[in-house]
Amino acid sequence: MLPGVRGMVRETHLSPAHLVSPLFVIHGRDVKNPVSSMPGVFQLSVDLLVAEAKHTVSLGIPAVLLFGVPAAKDPQGTESFARDGIIQRAVAEIKSACPDLVVITDVCMCEYTDHGHCGILNTGGARRPVPSLPEDALLNDATLEVLERIAASHAEAGADIVAPSGMIDGMVRAVRGALDRAGHAHVPVMSYAVKYASAFYGPFREAAQGAPRFGDRRSHQMDPANAREALREAALDVEEGTDFLMVKPALPYLDVVRLLRERFPGHPLAAYNVSGEYAMLKAAAANGWLNERAAVLETLTCIRRAGADLVITYHAKEAARWLAE
Ligand code: PBG
């Protein structure tokens, strides 16, 4: 068979245009901190981040997803919405250097709170504690107020898409409303609609320095055993006005990607190939147990085959390079 015939009947295509590259930004100048559990991934200061953004554009990757490491953490996560916060500064600098690069920002509090949870806790931060709730309960409405400020501040700095990731009830409606009121009706929302309470986020928590100091996120992230619940979560976010849907992690949840693709044909769908998925492949490749290039391209192609329009992946740059060859 002529290779051209294989190409003609190929059902799924993978190109750099389908990839989103996640980046971690930290205060300082000329800082490039390796993340030990994610070889090839670094926390970068804004100056180096801008160079990285330019490189990303040169590879044909259309978008980056930014995560910030703040200078200081507190119970209210106040740097998350500060005008001169790490993300706000990074977005402004990237957009002025690379106006055509799509800058997506993670809208969550966990990297900014000293307790490491994704919102305002009943003690430890609440302005109006609720006596009937346990001390470590996450206060939904107080958290939504902060998420609104974060999203508006990101849009103000020039973010092209905001991605609320905390799975807080009502977060999409709150963020959408805040953007509209602040004059950013054109900024789309990419909701982490279906986010599982997964063991595969481990390396990310080193990269973003956002591990919970106590407890876990099982109260607001989904049980890996459930798929029908994913449809309900996604339907709620669609009703609240999300423009994009996302499934996270990707590989153990390709059936969920497929379900969402079929149930929500009108919504662009992203799958997040998370830190632990990246670390697994890197570790096996480093031991010579897998052919990295083949395994990465197969993985990303299969995530697309399951139904994802976009793949958010730490392999983005290498994959783009391989795809160009
Ligand atoms: C929350 C957030 C997390 C990830 C992306 N956004 C961590 C979590 O929910 O604990 C994980 C991504 C990855 O593992 O690559 N801000």
Task: Please name which of 196, 202, 191, 207 lies closest in space to residue 23, comparing C-alpha atoms.
Answer: 207
Dist. CA 152 → ligand 1 center (Å): 21
* Rounded Cα–Cα distance for residues 243 and 190 (Å): 6
For residues 315-325, average pLDDT:
97
pLDDT interval class at 123 (50, 70, 90): confident
Bridge partner list, 162: 105, 189
For residues 9-20, average pLDDT:
97
Q: What is the pLDDT of residue 67?
A: 97
Dist. CA 197 → ligand 1 center (Å): 10
Inter-axis angle of helices 140-157 and 171-181, to 10 degrees? 40
Are 265 and 309 in contact by the 8 Å Cβ rule? The answer is no
Are 151 and 107 in contact by the 8 Å Cβ rule? The answer is yes
Provide φ and ψ at 105, rounded to 5°. Answer: -115, 140
**Mean of pLDDT over the chain:** 95
For residues 43-55, average pLDDT:
98
Superfamily of segment(s) 11-246: Aldolase class I (3.20.20.70)
Task: Please name which of 111, 101, 105, 84 lies closest in space to residue 23, comparing C-alpha atoms.
Answer: 105
For ligand 1, say whether the CB of 274 is within 6 Å of any of its atoms. yes
Min mean pLDDT across 11-25, 67-81, 215-229, 275-289 is at 215-229
Tell me: the pLDDT tens digits for 192-227? 999 999 999 999 988 888 777 777 776 678 999 999
Question: Helix or strand or coil: residue 210?
Answer: coil
The CA-CA-CA angle for residues 199, 41, 200, to 5°, reads 5
In this structure, the chain runs to a length of 325
For ligand 1, say whether the CB of 108 is within 6 Å of any of its atoms. yes
pLDDT interval class at 127 (50, 70, 90): confident
Burial class of residue 135 in the structure, from the number of CB atoms within 10 Å of its CB (0-12 exposed, 13-18 middle, 19+ buried): exposed
Which ligand 1 atom sits closest to the C-alpha of 203?
14
Dist. CA 249 → ligand 1 center (Å): 9
pTM of the model: 0.96
For ligand 1, say whether the CB of 106 is within 6 Å of any of its atoms. yes
How far from chain centre, in Å, is Cα 115?
A: 20
Tell me: the pLDDT tens digits for 240-274? 999 999 999 999 999 999 999 999 999 999 999 99
Dist. CA 206 → ligand 1 center (Å): 10
Q: Which residue has a Cα nearest atom 14 of ligand 1?
A: 201
Task: Please name which of 272, 67, 243 lies closest in space to residue 154, comparing C-alpha atoms.
Answer: 67
The stretches of the chain forming alpha helices (DSSP H) are 3-8, 46-58, 86-97, 140-157, 171-181, 202-207, 228-239, 254-263, 275-286, 292-306, 316-324
Q: Is the pLDDT of residue 129 over 90?
A: no
Q: What is the pLDDT of residue 300?
A: 98
List C-alpha distances in Å: 79 to 108, 153, 319: 11, 11, 34
Q: Give the catalytic positions in this structure.
A: 195, 248
* Rounded Cα–Cα distance for residues 82 and 167 (Å): 22
Q: What is the pLDDT of residue 124?
A: 67
Is-cis flag, bond preceding 224, omega within 30? no
More confident residue, 210 or 16: 16
For ligand 1, say whether the CB of 148 is within 6 Å of any of its atoms. no
Are 68 and 85 in contact by the 8 Å Cβ rule? The answer is yes
Q: Which residue has a Cα nearest atom 2 of ligand 1?
A: 165
For residues 9-22, average pLDDT:
97
For ligand 1, say whether the CB of 87 is within 6 Å of any of its atoms. no
Tell me: the pLDDT tens digits for 161-187? 999 998 889 999 999 999 999 999 999
Tokens for 161?
Answer: 């898409």
For residues 87-114, average pLDDT:
97
Q: What is the pLDDT of residue 219?
A: 67
Residue 4 CB neighbour total at 10 angstroms: 7
For ligand 1, say whether the CB of 246 is within 6 Å of any of its atoms. no
Question: Helix or strand or coil: residue 296?
Answer: helix
Tokens for 230?
Answer: 């994913």
